Every structure is written in C-alpha cells, then in structure tokens.
C-alpha cells in the first residue's frame, strides 16, 4: 500500500500553517505545506523543522492552472495520489468593508474560482475514502444573502455549478456597472465580495460531495472562527492552533457519515440553508479588542 498523503493550500502562515503543524503530529503519512510564494513557504517549513516536524514543500498557486498542473504531476509521480486535501488558501478585505470591482474580482478568483481549478486537476487524484475540507467562513453561510431570488436559487435541490457561477457573475457585474445594492446582503453589504466567494464555496461543497459520493470521499466546508491572523489584522477570539482543531477533526476524526456539511468552528453541523439564521458575519466583531 502506498503511503498516505495530505495537502494543505496557503499554508505558509495563519490557519494553514497551524493545520500543517497539527497534521505533522498526528497524520501517518506525508504532509505537504504549499504556498504561492516559495521563499515564504520554505521559511515556514524551516520553522516546523525546528519543532522536529518534517512537512514536505511544494509551490502551489491555486489560481494558476500551470502551477496546479505541476503540483498534480508531482503528486502523481511521487505518490500516485493523495488522501486529504485542505483548501485553505484565501484572501479577505478586512481593512475596508467596501471594495472596488477589481478587488472583488481578485477576492472571488482566489476564494472561489480557484476551487474549480483544483476540482478539475487535483480531485481526480484523491483516493477512495479520502477527505476534502474547504475552509469557508461565517461569510459563507446562506444567511449572508438577502436577495430572495438568489436565496431560492442557491437553495434548490437540483443546484448545479452554473447556478453558483451565475450568482458570482451577477455580483461582479453589479460591482462593475454600479448597480450593487447593499440590501442584497447582510450587515449593510459590507465585505460583499468575500461573502459571495465564501457562499459560493460552501454551496459548491455540496455539489462536490455529490460527485465524490460513490468513492466514499467526504467533502465538507467549515467556518474556522474569528482567528487572530494577518487577514483579520490580529483581531479574533481564537489562536491559529485552536482554529486548526476543527479542520483537522474533519480531516482525520469525523465519522465518514459527515458529508456535504457546513460545520461551525466548534464542530457543530449547521443548517446552511437557514437564510433567516443569525450566522452571518458582522463587521462589528472586527472592532473587538
């Protein structure tokens, strides 16, 4: 039997770094720390080496088809496949609650569109009984959306990828042509690009589960909590090591009946479809000292 392989994207700092650290301590197999910037990634590996942990490194820019293809070829050649994929790489706009079309497109490309590239190139390598964890956000719960048409469309039983892509494109087109409405989103439409991208990621998780079902691969999305990282400008109630606990639980410990779920930072499974719930992100939490 070939050795087991776990991959974490965007892992040179923050939650991704902590997930790699935790996996290196518990996972029986090879753990890959990947990052867009090779220098930062190798520096992160050196930090873990000082703790007697031995992750392997490979450059991976999740928005670049060629980079993902090179990584796929490396995994295929070196290991024949992989068992755990934690899609952590992300960007947010915490400094300004309202952003330009260009910034929103960048946020959507990294937080959502990249998953389509990974799905196409890396998902076929995941072995039977493997696990995929998509790091979403409280911004990824359906209650972040207030537009009734999109709530209904994203909630339908026969949801498909075209529905999700059209939702994302609707938002970006509104940003581009000046028809963006704050009332289409919770919390006065703050951080709308991040909300749209993470709602799309949470939604596509359920489609991915449908496609992976016959191979007994578990695909779940989760909100890691408000974590003290550079992305939140250091504001949060969780350290990165605490925030890594639930993603690692989903990767290693959760029952294999947990599939296509939206999981809260405390391991609770929430009803993603409850658009009236109070699970949406509130910018006021970023003011907490």
Where are the domains positioned within the chain?
A: 5-93+114-144+198-287
Q: Which of 25, 55, 33 is CA-nearest to residue 241?
A: 25
pLDDT of residue 33: 98
Global pTM value: 0.95
pLDDT over 70 at 235, yes or no: no
pLDDT over 80 at 285, yes or no: no
pLDDT over 80 at 218, yes or no: yes
Report the distance separating Cα 24 and Cα 149, nearest Å: 45
pLDDT of residue 38: 97
Which pLDDT band, with edges at 50, 70 and 90, does 19 fall under?
very high
Which pLDDT band, with edges at 50, 70 and 90, does 237 fall under?
low
Of 32, 57, 112, 194, the catalytic one is 194
Which pLDDT band, with edges at 50, 70 and 90, does 244 fall under?
very high
pLDDT of residue 266: 94
> Quick one: average pLDDT of 63-84?
98
> Quick one: average pLDDT of 7-36?
97
Q: Name the fold adopted by 5-93+114-144+198-287.
A: Rossmann fold (3.40.50)
pLDDT of residue 97: 81
User: Strand, coil or helix: what is 58?
Assistant: strand
Which pLDDT band, with edges at 50, 70 and 90, does 158 fall under?
very high
Which residue(s) pair with 132 in the sheet?
85, 219
pLDDT of residue 42: 98
* Better pLDDT: 235 or 263: 263
Report the distance separating Cα 185 and Cα 116, nearest Å: 24
Report the distance separating Cα 53 and Cα 12, nearest Å: 14
> Quick one: average pLDDT of 230-241?
65
pLDDT of residue 156: 96
> pLDDT of 263-283, one tens digit each?
999 999 999 999 999 999 988
Q: How many CB atoms are closer than 10 A to CB 256?
A: 10
Mean confidence (pLDDT) of the chain: 93
Report the distance separating Cα 260 and Cα 112, nearest Å: 17
Burial tier of 108 (Cβ tally within 10 Å: 0-12, 13-18, 19+): buried
Lowest mean pLDDT among 30-39, 106-115, 170-179, 239-248: 239-248
pLDDT over 80 at 289, yes or no: no
pLDDT over 70 at 209, yes or no: yes
The pairing of strands 262-263 and 30-35 is: unpaired
- Active-site residue, 249 included: no
Distances (CA, A) of 5 to 8, 63, 158, 188: 10, 22, 33, 43
């Amino acid at each position: 039997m070939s050795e087991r392989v776990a991959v974490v994207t965007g892992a040179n700092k923050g939650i991704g770094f902590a997930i790699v650290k935790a996996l290196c301590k518990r996972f029986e197999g090879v753990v890959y720390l990947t990052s867009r910037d090779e220098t930062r990634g190798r520096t992160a590996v050196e930090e873990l080496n000082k703790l007697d942990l031995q992750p392997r490194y490979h450059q991976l820019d999740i928005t670049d088809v060629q980079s993902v293809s090179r990584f796929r070829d490396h995994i295929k050649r070196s290991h024949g496949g992989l068992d755990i994929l934690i899609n952590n790489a992300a960007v947010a706009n915490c400094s300004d609650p309202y952003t330009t079309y260009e910034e929103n497109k960048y946020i959507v490309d990294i937080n959502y569109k990249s998953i389509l590239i990974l799905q196409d190139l890396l998902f076929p390598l995941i072995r039977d009984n493997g696990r995929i964890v998509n790091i979403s956000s409280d911004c990824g719960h359906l209650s972040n959306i207030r537009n009734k048409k999109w709530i209904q469309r994203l909630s339908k039983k026969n949801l498909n990828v075209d529905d999700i892509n059209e939702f994302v494109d609707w938002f970006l087109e509104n940003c581009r042509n000046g028809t963006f409405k704050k009332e289409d989103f919770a919390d006065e439409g703050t951080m709308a690009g991040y909300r749209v991208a993470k709602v799309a990621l949470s939604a596509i998780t359920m489609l991915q589960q449908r496609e992976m079902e016959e191979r007994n691969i578990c695909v779940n999305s989760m909100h890691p909590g408000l974590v003290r990282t550079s992305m939140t400008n250091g504001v949060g109630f969780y350290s990165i090591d605490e925030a890594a606990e639930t993603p690692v639980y989903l990767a290693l410990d959760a029952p294999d009946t947990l599939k296509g779920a939206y999981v809260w930072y405390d391991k609770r499974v929430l009803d993603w479809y409850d658009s009236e719930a109070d699970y949406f992100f509130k910018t006021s939490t970023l003011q907490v000292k």
